Amino acid sequence: MRIHREGKKIIMLAAAVVFFVVLLLLLFVHQWTWLHYLFVMALVVTALLVTSFFRIPRRIFTESTSDLIAPADGTVVAIEQVYERNYIKGDCIQVSIFMSPANVHVNRYPCDAVVEYFKYQRGNYFVASYPKSSDLNERTEVGLLLPTGQRILLRQVAGAMARRIVCYAKEGEHVKQNQEMGFIKFGSRVDMFLPLDFPISVSLQDKVKNGISPIAEISK
């Protein structure tokens, strides 16, 4: 396991805060009580939780030219037909993955593709599992042109705790399946908008892992 580069400054800050608070307690509190020990323990646990948000576990990725692989860890909370107006501009299947604070928060490309479209949209910070959060929250959209000529859209959606979405996509870039696309800090959501003829490989409430779990088959 390693730590994502987006978290290194935050983790260093958390460690510095713990060190500074403990140092002050050692200098000015001469008789510790159980409350002091409990307080220090709470600080350490919080710092460890912050560190865990930015972990990248070692994984053997699924490589497939016939499947779209999960772009995020989490729980499938929506599978429905919708109209996507920005990139696909037509009816499609939306598959949404909710990422809790306990999930790995790196996002990956589900297939080889060319980035045709990118957009960042400011918005609110409703709970990411809320159905309307996909349209109301802060978000980024990445439109991908597949080698088959079909198009899919990925949408990173901020949640109640997530206050920063990081996306490395650049229009015109050729990307590889399971290549890192971005990172959402703390709880969040990733939506996939897929052609109607793509057979879906998951069901509601399924647990999926980025780079491993197939989400849909690429219809040729």
Please tell me whether residue 24 adopts helix, strand or coil conformation.
helix
Question: CB of 101 within 8 A of CB of 53?
Answer: yes
Q: What is residue 163's predicted lDDT score, i.e. its pLDDT?
A: 58
d(C-alpha 95, C-alpha 216), whole Å: 9
Protein fold of 67-217: Glucose Permease (Domain IIA) (2.70.70)
Residue 188 annotated as catalytic: yes
pLDDT, mean of each 10-residue run, the chain (220 residues)? 77 88 87 90 87 84 95 95 94 94 90 96 63 70 96 87 79 96 83 96 96 92
> Among residues 96, 129, 134, 188, which one is catalytic?
188
Beta-strand pair 165-167/180-184: antiparallel
Q: What is residue 189's predicted lDDT score, i.e. its pLDDT?
A: 87
Q: What is residue 131's predicted lDDT score, i.e. its pLDDT?
A: 57
Number of CB atoms found within 10 A of residue 46's CB: 13
How does DSSP classify residue 124? Answer: B
d(C-alpha 52, C-alpha 2), whole Å: 10
Tokens of 124: 């609110």
Q: What is residue 136's predicted lDDT score, i.e. its pLDDT?
A: 66
Give Cα separations from 39 to 42, 52, 155 (angstroms). 5, 20, 39
